[in-house]
Amino acid sequence: MKRLLLPMMVSLGAMVTSTALADETRFTIDDFTASIDDYALVDNALFVPPQDAGPAKEAFEGTLSISETPMPSDPAEIASGEVLGKNPQLFPAVDLSFITLGDELVPATQDVIRAGSTENGSSFWDIIVQPGKVWSIGDDGWSRASFPFSLVHMIEGETHNGVAMFLYRDGEISDLRYQILTETAPFYVETYFTAAGSLPAELTSTAVDDADALAARFEIARADAEDIRPWSALEKKVGADTLEGFDSDIRPNELLLDGLMVEDTFYLKSCPTPAGELPYCDRQRFGVWSVSKSLVAAAAMLSVSEKYGPEIFDMTITDLVPEAEGIEGWDKVTVGDALNMATGMGYGQREAEPKISWSPYTDDYYAFYEARSQEEKLNLLLNAAKPYVWGPGAMMRYRDEDMFLVGVAVTNYLKEKQDPDPNAWSFLQANVYEPIGIHDMPINKTIEDDGSEGQPLTAYGLYPTVGDLVKLARLYQNGGRFGDEQILSAEMMADIATTSEPAGLTTGQEAKPYYGKAFWRYPFKSDECTLYFPSMDGWGDNRVMLMPNDITAIRIAANWDGDESAKNMESLIRTANAIESFCP
What is the tens place of the pLDDT at every residue in 377-421? 999 999 999 999 999 999 999 999 999 999 999 999 999 999 999
Enumerate residues 6+ apart whose C-beta is below 8 A from 434: none
The DSSP letter of residue 53 is P
The full DSSP string for 147-185 is EEEEEE-TTS---EEEEEEEEEETTEE--EEEEEEEES-
> In the predicted model, is pLDDT for residue 9 greater than 80?
no
Percent of the chain with pLDDT over 70: 96
> In the predicted model, is pLDDT for residue 557 greater than 50?
yes
Q: Rounded to an integer, what distance in angstroms lies between the CA atom of residue 29 and that of residue 132? A: 20
pLDDT digits 0-9 by tens, 322-333 = 999 999 999 999
- Alpha carbon distances (Å) from 251 to 56, 322, 570: 40, 47, 15
> In the predicted model, is pLDDT for residue 10 greater than 60?
no
pLDDT digits 0-9 by tens, 123-159 = 999 999 999 999 999 888 999 999 999 999 999 999 9
What are the structural domain ranges in the chain? 29-222, 290-436
Q: Is the peptide bond before 49 cis (omega within 30 degrees of 0)?
A: no
User: What's the topology of domain 290-436?
Assistant: Beta-lactamase (3.40.710)
Indicate the helix (H) or strand (E) that contains 544. Answer: strand 542-547
Q: For strand 265-270 and strand 229-230, is the pairing parallel, antiparallel, or unpaired?
A: parallel
> In the predicted model, is pLDDT for residue 18 greater than 50?
no
pTM for this one? 0.96
φ and ψ of 471, to 5 deg: -60, -45
464 near 286, Cβ under 8 Å? yes
User: Could you write out the three-class secondary structure of 441-488?
Assistant: CCECECCCCCCCCCCECCCCCECCCHHHHHHHHHHHHCCCEECCEECC
Q: Rounded to an integer, what distance in angstroms lies between the CA atom of residue 284 and that of residue 182? A: 11
> In the predicted model, is pLDDT for residue 221 greater than 90?
yes
- Alpha carbon distances (Å) from 504 to 45, 337, 460, 544, 555: 47, 11, 21, 18, 24
Residue 421: which of 381, 456, 447 has the closest Cα?
456
Which string of b and e fits 323-358 if b means at least 16 CB within 10 Å?
bbeebebbebbbbbbbbbbbbbbbbbeeeeeeebbe
The pLDDT value recorded for residue 2 is 40
At 222 the three-state DSSP class reads helix
Q: In terms of pLDDT, which residue wins out, 547 or 2?
A: 547
pLDDT digits 0-9 by tens, 46-101 = 999 999 999 999 999 999 999 999 999 999 999 999 999 999 999 999 999 999 99
Residue 473: which of 243, 221, 291, 343 has the closest Cα?
291
- The residue type of 59 is A
- The residue type of 385 is A
The pLDDT value recorded for residue 139 is 82
The pLDDT value recorded for residue 219 is 98
Work out the mean pLDDT of the chain and round it to a whole number: 94
pLDDT digits 0-9 by tens, 334-380 = 999 999 999 999 998 888 887 788 888 899 999 999 999 999 999 99
Q: Rounded to an integer, what distance in angstroms lies between the CA atom of residue 398 and that of residue 340? A: 9
Cα-based angle 102, 108, 109 (whole degrees, multiple of 5): 125
